[in-house]
């Protein structure tokens, strides 16, 4: 077995999931993730924790959903009991075909998801962590060779997370103490208020309330955006490609927008509800192991030297206790990403925190 698979498992179990003796661990295994599952089982066993493996096969789910008549039972008791009694859920993504569910009607998938909302909540109430095992199907989605994609994923996952968490803590402190963020660059000059907000240090560990491996971003919930921002990273929004999206805000609300490609997809998002025209998130990517865009939000938004803004719903974690209901509400949360390359800068209360993609505490900052 590739030593990197073992290291990935150790990172997932120890750094991310914080598995300890006696923990009831559910391991969700996708079709292509057997080898990582074996490595994770070894780490969980070594901790003396309990293990139950669930088979999360897209092909099994497809067959089940297509044969069903849509009348799904609400939160079947046995599955609810499993997750309500679990301490930690480790999900290994990575199937053999990312489009394995393509011929299941969307309304049937949604009906099944609605019926299992309580189970989903029980799962999210555990110390859950989602990661991906580099499969050929994910390599294909990223437009990369298999070996190349494995290198890409392990570069992103096998970080010195303690060190990165400490670096991210510096940015969190700046954002927590700051009142206004400004982003400047090509096609971009926008200010946002971050007063009285709490930045989250998303360090790929449940101890940081961070549930994805890899992670590596600091994010907060901006308000009162004014100005224009362009996003040069191509994305897939509701199944459609968008490129060079530009948004103009006045008093926190989008008043103009455009895109070189996929403008209709952006229009659809903006028209969802009132909250969809306001920002729900400002995130700063700080994972230097991610060196390219792969059309997978789990990686793209964490990329060092990028920032992302999300239209729509804000996270409660960005508000002080008792103020969670001040957050922007919406049915959507759509991330859009911008490289902060040459000519770009991110300032907090007038002080430059990042210039040309380099933070002020990094080598090469001018």
Q: Where along the sequence are the contacts to a copy of itself (CB under 8 A)?
A: 22, 24, 26-27, 29, 31, 34, 37-39, 41-46, 48, 50-57, 59-61, 63-69, 71, 73, 76-79, 81-86
Tell me the sheet residues that pair with 213.
Answer: 131
- Min dist. Cβ of residue 127 to a copy of itself (A): 13
Instruction: Decide whether 62 or 360 has the Cβ nearer to a copy of itself.
Output: 62
Query: By C-beta, is 30 or 188 nearer to a copy of itself?
Result: 30
Comparing CB distances to a copy of itself, the nearer of 53 and 347 is 53
Smallest gap from residue 89 Cβ to a copy of itself (A): 10
CB of 53 vs a copy of itself, minimal distance in Å: 4
Q: Which of 55, 31, 30, 27 is nearest to 41 (CA)?
A: 27
Please report, to the nearest 10 degrees, the dihedral formed by the alpha carbons of residues 75, 81, 82, 85 taken in order.
Answer: 130
User: Of 124 and 255, which has the nearer Cβ to a copy of itself?
Assistant: 124
Q: Count Cβ neighbours within 10 Å for each residue of 305-327 and write b for 16 or more, e otherwise.
A: bbbbbbbbbbbebbbeeeeeebb
Toward a copy of itself, which CB reaches closer, 125 or 273?
125
Helix (H, G, I), strand (E, B) or coil at 51: strand
* Nearest CA among 132, 130, 131, 127 for reference residue 25: 127
Min dist. Cβ of residue 119 to a copy of itself (A): 10
Least gap, CB of 87 to a copy of itself (angstroms): 8
CB of 195 to a copy of itself, least distance (A): 43
Q: In sequence order, which residues have a C-beta less than 8 Å from that of residue 162 and are 6 or more positions away?
A: 15
Nearer to a copy of itself, 36 or 165 (CB): 36
Kindly state the greatest CA–CA separation across the chain: 63
CB of 37 to a copy of itself, least distance (A): 5
Angle of CA points 299, 175, 331, to nearest 5° = 55
> 280 near 214, Cβ under 8 Å?
no
Q: Which is nearer to a copy of itself, 113 or 145 (CB)?
A: 113
CA 10, 14, 16, 18 torsion-angle sign: positive
Residue 312 to residue 314: CA distance in whole angstroms: 7
| Residue 60 CB partners (closer than 8 Å, separation 6+) | none
Q: Report, in Å, the least distance between residue 258 CB and a copy of itself.
A: 45
**Judged by CB, which is closer to a copy of itself: 53, or 191?**
53
Pairing mode, if any, of strands 88-93 and 24-30? parallel
């Amino acid at each position: 077995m590739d030593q990197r698979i073992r290291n990935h498992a150790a990172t997932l179990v120890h750094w991310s999931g914080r598995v300890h003796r006696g923990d009831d661990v559910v391991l969700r295994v996708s079709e292509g993730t057997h080898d990582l599952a074996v490595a994770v089982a070894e780490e969980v066993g070594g901790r003396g924790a309990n293990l139950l493996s669930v088979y999360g096969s897209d092909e099994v789910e497809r067959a089940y959903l297509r044969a069903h008549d849509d009348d799904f039972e609400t939160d079947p008791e046995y599955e609810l009991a499993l997750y309500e009694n679990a301490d930690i859920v480790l999900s290994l993504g990575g199937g053999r075909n990312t489009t394995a569910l393509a011929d299941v009607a969307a309304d049937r998938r949604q009906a099944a998801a609605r019926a299992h909302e309580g189970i989903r909540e029980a799962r999210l109430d555990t110390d859950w962590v989602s990661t991906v095992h580099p499969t050929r199907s994910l390599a294909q989605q990223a437009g990369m060779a298999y070996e190349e994609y494995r290198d890409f994923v392990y570069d992103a996952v096998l970080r010195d997370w303690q060190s990165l968490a400490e670096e991210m803590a510096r940015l969190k402190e700046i954002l927590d103490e700051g009142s206004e963020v400004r982003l400047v660059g090509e096609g971009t000059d926008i200010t946002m208020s971050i007063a009285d907000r709490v930045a989250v240090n998303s360090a790929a560990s449940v101890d940081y309330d961070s549930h994805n491996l890899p992670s590596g971003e600091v994010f907060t919930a901006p308000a009162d955006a004014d100005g224009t921002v362009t996003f040069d990273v191509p994305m897939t929004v509701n199944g459609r490609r968008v490129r060079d999206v530009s948004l103009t805000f006045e008093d926190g609300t989008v008043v103009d927008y455009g895109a070189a490609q996929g403008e209709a997809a952006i229009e659809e998002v903006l028209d969802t509800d009132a909250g969809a025209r306001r920002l729900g998130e400002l995130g700063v990517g700080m994972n230097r192991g991610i060196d390219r865009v792969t059309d997978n939000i789990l990686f793209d938004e964490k990329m060092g030297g990028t920032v992302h803004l999300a239209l729509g719903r804000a996270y409660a974690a960005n508000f002080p206790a008792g103020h969670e209901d001040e957050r922007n509400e919406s049915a959507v949360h759509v991330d859009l990403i911008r490289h902060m390359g040459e000519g770009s800068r991110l300032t907090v209360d007038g002080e430059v925190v990042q210039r040309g993609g380099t933070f002020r505490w990094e080598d090469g900052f001018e």
